Amino acid sequence: MTNLAGKRTVQAGLLGWGFAGFKGASSLRVDAMKAQHATPALDRVVAFDLETTGLDPSTDRIVEFAFILLDRDLDELDRWTDIVNPGRPIPPEASNVHGITDQDVQDAPPFHHVAPLVQRLVDDSILMAYNHEFDITFLNAELQRAGGPGIPPKAPAIDPMVHFRRHHPDTSNRLEHAVQHYLDAPLEGAHRAIHDTAAMVDVFKAMRRVHPALSQSLTDALVEPKEWIDEDKKLYADEEGTIRYGFGKHDGEPVLDHRSYAEWMLTADFPEETKARLREVLQH
């Protein structure tokens, strides 16, 4: 085992997972952890964050992940973070965001080596992610590429970003702004998976103290699954039938309010099915 892999094992051990070869002992560790912390359905939360090579789950790959297991009171039970080799160069613009380079991942395992462990962890749990549509879609794609079932389309999820946007519609919904607002502190270590995950959990705890509607039950905080109108999950219909963007700088905003963005999509590299749905919307 190389020095980098050795350091990675030590890091994971310090985080309470005792990583040992990504199989065998690790698999038993996941099963033991979930058995030890077993709680009724919808009472176990897995908060997570991903760092990736880019924004497209069909072509980009994970380079770092972090999972924090929480009980019904959002008390931390365990955590796991590590880097993985994406099997392709990390673009400089991505490295400029999270600081992870090709050299950092050259001796790391590929994601499919840990995918069975990740699948066990997320099964039958409430998932928490900041901008959950991105992270859950990305994680699902990686799990399915590794041969697993992935994440069900309507898996229960909590997204603190959704609640931040709801209560502060005129404020940027970036995580660092939510941290500043609810915790009155800067976000330390931004864009590294474990720091972002831990900060997200702290923000959500603060939200529950401030907003009574979120304080009673975890089910009160679950996001409503979107009714996607295209397979690539770029467009969805809200409760009133308004078609909205499900990604990008106009995420959550009506398509017809930003026609120039729709026109750009029609000329860009999006699936033809998505473009067909978009044309239908524009014709109305």
Query: At residue 5, does pLDDT exceed 50?
Result: no
Compute the distance between CA of residue 101 and CA of residue 99 in angstroms, rounded to an integer.
6
CATH of domain 3-221: 3.30.420.10
Tokens 């389309």 correspond to 153
Domain ranges of the chain: 3-221, 227-283
DSSP state of 254: B
Compute the distance between CA of residue 182 and CA of residue 276 in angstroms, rounded to an integer.
42
Cβ(64)–Cβ(100) under 8 Å?
yes
pLDDT of residue 7: 35
Compute the distance between CA of residue 224 and CA of residue 157 in angstroms, rounded to an integer.
8
How far does Cα 218 stand from its chain's mean position?
18
Mean pLDDT of 132-148: 95
pLDDT of residue 217: 85
Q: Which helix (H) or strand (E) holds 278?
A: helix 272-283
Contacts of 239 (CB under 8 A, 6+ apart): none
pLDDT of residue 70: 96
Compute the distance between CA of residue 85 and CA of residue 105 in angstroms, rounded to an integer.
5
Taking the CA atoms of 147, 152, 155 and 158 in sequence, report the sign of the dihedral they define: positive
User: CA geometry: angle at 41 spanning 40 and 44, to 5°?
Assistant: 80
- Would you tell me the crossing angle of helices 193-210 and 160-167 to the nearest 10 degrees? 50
Compute the distance between CA of residue 125 and CA of residue 238 in angstroms, rounded to an integer.
26
Tokens of 70: 């929480």
pLDDT of residue 41: 52
Return the bridge partners of 110, or none: 85
pLDDT, tens only, 85-115: 999 999 999 999 999 999 999 999 999 999 9
Compute the distance between CA of residue 36 and CA of residue 39 in angstroms, rounded to an integer.
9
Residue 118's identity, in one-letter code, is: V
pLDDT, tens only, 193-247: 999 999 999 999 999 999 988 888 888 899 887 888 998 889 999 888 999 998 7
Compute the distance between CA of residue 184 and CA of residue 187 in angstroms, rounded to an integer.
10
Compute the distance between CA of residue 146 and CA of residue 20 in angstroms, rounded to an integer.
20
Instruction: Report residue 83: phi and psi, to 5°.
Output: -100, 155
pLDDT of residue 170: 81
pLDDT, tens only, 240-280: 899 999 877 787 889 999 999 999 999 999 999 999 999 99
Compute the distance between CA of residue 57 and CA of residue 86 in angstroms, rounded to an integer.
12
pLDDT, tens only, 28-84: 455 545 545 544 456 789 999 999 999 899 899 999 999 999 998 999 999 999 999
